[in-house]
Amino acid sequence: MPDEIKELVQEYEEGKISRRDFILKAIAITGSLAAANALLGPFLSSPLHAAQVDPNDPELVSSDVEYPGKAGKVFAYLSRPKASGKHPAIIVVHAWTGIDDHIRDVARRFAKEGYVALAPDYLSRHGGTPVANPKRAGVGDQLAPAEAVAEDSEAGFSYLKRLPEVRGDRLGVTGFCWGGSRAFFVATQVRGLRAAVIYYGTSPSPLSLVKNIEAPVMAHYGGEDPRVNAGIPATEEAMKKLGKSFTYKIYPGAQHAFNEDTRPERYHPEAAKEAWGRTLEFFKTHLKA
């Protein structure tokens, strides 16, 4: 497969372009609508690439939004139950590749469970994920340092608390991969959080920052993820020493990013299902009680 097509497929996989844009660009490359549709075919037939919650689910209100941040406007995706009333709110921190359809789907999954879910684009300071092209440029301290993510998250919680549908005293955060690490750091910086769920993310650095955590923390780790798992014992010891609530599970046979159902080489259905169930129970206990 030519590199130009590989890059186009990758952009579509990561949610950087719409289906329409994919088709138009594919036609320009291949010169044929049939060939363009053939490239799109695997995405339409594979359940791994299908959203678990339809973007147009009639029970939800989901859309792109913007909110003011310390360094300028922050782009985000918001999903909430259509039913009237006030709901707990959760910020979902994306992985290092930026906001994509998978993270939007995760936000909708939370909304289906009765939460208002906000997924900020933490590359907004660089024009947003499509402009920053993080997979090519790399994220880390250059594009989205932990302090910037904490600032944009705190602004996100302020935005959520202004929404009439949100219970401002029931706020949580979760994140995946790079986003799991950032979510853990956010828990050390943002006051008033009631729960934090970390998916295979490293602990805050320096570890002494955990002294600032107010919320109980749950973490999910893949058994085949030695780099991240190397930090678990020290984290557990520090949290226990400081009287912080920290529960975790290591899922045997699961790799890093085992929850990401758009990556069949990483996705572990059994671990993902169990971790999701534990996540929902954890948030229910701490955000709905």
Q: Which one-letter amino acid corresponds to residue 279?
A: T
- State yes or no: is 21 an active-site residue: no
CA-to-CA distance for 91 and 107, rounded, in angstroms? 8
Q: What are phi and psi of 119, to 5 degrees?
A: -115, 95
Q: Which of 225, 261, 268, 286 is catalytic?
A: 225
Rounded (10°) CA dihedral 99, 138, 13, 201: -60
- State yes or no: is 256 an active-site residue: yes
Q: Which of 256, 261, 268, 286 is catalytic?
A: 256
- Measured between alpha carbons, how far is residue 98 from residues 4, 119, 155, 166, 278 in Å? 21, 10, 18, 25, 25
Q: Which two tokens stand for residue 196?
A: 């934090």
CA-to-CA distance for 155 and 151, rounded, in angstroms? 6
Q: Which helix (H) or strand (E) holds 19?
A: helix 19-30
End-to-end CA distance of the chain: 53
**In this structure, are residues 137 and 144 in contact, taking their beta carbons and an 8 Å threshold?**
no
- State yes or no: is 225 an active-site residue: yes
DSSP 257: T
Q: Which of 87, 177, 220, 261 is catalytic?
A: 177
Burial code (b: 16+ CB inside 10 Å, e: under 16) for 160-187 equals beebebbbeebbbbbbbbbbbbbbbbbb
Active site residues: 177, 225, 256
